[in-house]
Amino acid sequence: MRKNLFSFFALALVISLASCGGKGGGFEGDVRKMANYRCELQKLMAMDQADEKTQKKVADLQKEMGEFADKMGKKYEDKKDDKAMEEKAEKIMDEVMEKCK
């Protein structure tokens, strides 16, 4: 399960970084939302994976992350090759994850 979860997380991160574009708060808000999903997933992965409630929360969060990643991919499809936006997204992700405890 951890391997699948990691693969899903990696895919969501790549999509979020590769698909970033737009201007202002919309772009930053979308990246922060994906980073918050990532943080929440990290917290859930630190919990007992044998617990059914935790497994359900992980599955629900993965589904929500996937849907959001798809939405981001479509929203920013024309900005996939924008290196400046990718760097900005990575910086925001790092900032949010640094605070994630």
Is 97:39 a contact under the CB 8 Å cutoff? yes
Domain ranges of the chain: 2-6+24-99
SS3 51: coil
pLDDT tens profile 65-94: 999 999 998 888 888 788 888 899 999 999
Residue 25 has pLDDT above 80, yes or no: no
pTM: 0.71
